[in-house]
């Protein structure tokens, strides 16, 4: 037994002596600009311009604020006129983006029109374009009880998908509770399985901020509370706009997990990263009873 102990100690010392601190020289990503912009029917365009960052950079409020580009020249065209967007610091989207480029002149979204943007930052030029599809209206929306829970409800929607190709993204906003329209956890939908058919689905409430730890302690997550007044925003997208959000949401919600297949985000702009797209939107309201 004593010889086994000596052998064990010898192996322990040997293993310890073989350890070595390894310092990885991680490459910095190529510096690129990131666009997130959209235009909705009946609304003015909204565009955010930021810089990309390294995966391992420390994240804090000062660092995030420094990612915003405040000296870009941003232009938007509807094929007939071109307008220059102005920089706003008035938290147009209730603090989601503290700095936005927008226009409040005659450039509002119209169904069927093609819109394009040009963003100039120094010697860099980023461009993108998209076409506003047709609107799709819900047939109905209703809530259903949850077994064993008297205070929360599931929200359901139904509609008849039109015969043309459609791609959907849904948002909800609880009046007096949500600061903005939150994308549903339903993600985006391709009508490949229900084209020109009646379809219904549980509209799971999305997460307002996936990086906030308190979000995951929310006992109402995915549900709606009795007494809530909820606005449902139904949007129709083009294929390229859908492909961006499909791949981006996969990347966001998997968190870059090493156990998942890597996701290649389908950017829709040239000369940079990100998306510019059109939303053909309709709105419905329900009181959760």
What's the distance, Cα to Cα, between the start and end of the chain in Å?
Answer: 74
pLDDT at 30: 75
Walking along the chain (289 residues) 10 residues at a time, the average pLDDT comes out as 51 54 60 94 94 69 80 95 88 64 87 97 96 98 94 97 97 92 90 96 84 63 94 98 92 60 86 96 96
pLDDT at 75: 96
Tokens 């293993």 belong to residue:
15
- Reported as a single tens digit per residue, the pLDDT across 239-277 is 999 999 999 888 776 665 555 566 789 999 999 999 999
pLDDT at 215: 55
- Reported as a single tens digit per residue, the pLDDT across 24-33 is 555 566 789 9
pLDDT at 38: 96
DSSP per residue, 269-285: -BSSEEEEEEEEEEEEE
Contact between 254 and 108 under an 8 Å Cβ cutoff? The reply is no
- For the chain, the C-alpha Rg in angstroms (whole number) is 24
pLDDT at 172: 96
pLDDT at 261: 64
pLDDT at 67: 87
Ordered by where they begin, the domains of the chain are: 33-131 (2.60.40), 140-265+279-287 (2.60.40)
DSSP per residue, the chain: -HHHHHHHHHHHHHHHHT-------PPPPPP-EEEEEEEEBTS--EEEEEE---TTS---HHHHHTTB--S-EEEEE-SS-EEE-EEE-S-TTTTS-SSEEE--SS--B-TT-EEEEEEEETTEEEEEEEE-------SEEEEEEETTEEEEEEEEEEEE--SS--EEEEEEEETTT-SSPEEEEEEEEEGGGTTTSEEEEE-----S-TT-GGGGG-TTTTSEETT-EEEEEEEEE-HHHHHHHHHHHHHHHHTT-TTS---------BSSEEEEEEEEEEEEEEE--
Distances (CA, A) of 189 to 18, 133, 199, 203, 209: 53, 15, 12, 12, 21
Cα–Cα dist 155/286, whole Å? 9
pTM of the model: 0.83
pLDDT at 122: 94
Q: Is the dihedral of CA 241, 245, 248, 251 positive or negative?
A: negative
């Amino acid at each position: 037994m004593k010889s086994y102990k000596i052998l064990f100690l010898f192996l322990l010392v040997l293993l310890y002596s073989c350890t070595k601190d390894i310092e990885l020289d991680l490459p910095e990503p190529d510096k690129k600009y990131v666009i997130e912009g959209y235009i909705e029917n009946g609304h003015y365009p909204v565009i955010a311009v930021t810089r990309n960052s390294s995966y391992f950079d420390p994240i804090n409020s000062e660092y995030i604020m420094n990612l915003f580009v405040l000296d870009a020249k941003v232009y938007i065209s509807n094929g007939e006129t071109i307008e220059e967007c102005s920089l706003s610091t008035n938290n147009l989207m209730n603090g989601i983006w503290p700095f936005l480029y927008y226009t409040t002149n005659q450039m509002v979204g119209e169904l069927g029109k093609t819109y394009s943007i040009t963003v100039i930052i120094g010697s860099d030029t980023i461009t993108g374009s998209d076409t506003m599809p047709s609107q799709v209206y819900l047939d109905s929306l209703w809530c259903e009880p949850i077994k064993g829970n008297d205070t929360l409800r599931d929200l359901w929607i139904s509609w008849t998908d039109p015969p043309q190709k459609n791609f959907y993204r849904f948002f909800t906003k609880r009046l007096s509770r949500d600061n903005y329209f939150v994308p549903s956890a339903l993600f985006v939908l391709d009508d490949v399985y229900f084209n020109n058919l009646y379809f219904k689905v549980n509209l799971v409430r999305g997460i307002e901020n996936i990086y906030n730890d308190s979000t995951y302690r929310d006992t109402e997550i995915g549900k709606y509370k009795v007494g809530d007044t909820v606005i449902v925003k139904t949007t129709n997208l083009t294929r390229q706009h859908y492909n961006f959000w499909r791949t981006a949401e996969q990347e966001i919600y998997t968190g870059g997990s090493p156990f998942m297949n890597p996701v290649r985000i389908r950017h829709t702009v040239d000369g940079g990263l990100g998306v510019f797209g059109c939303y053909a939107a309709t709105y419905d309201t329900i009181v959760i009873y």
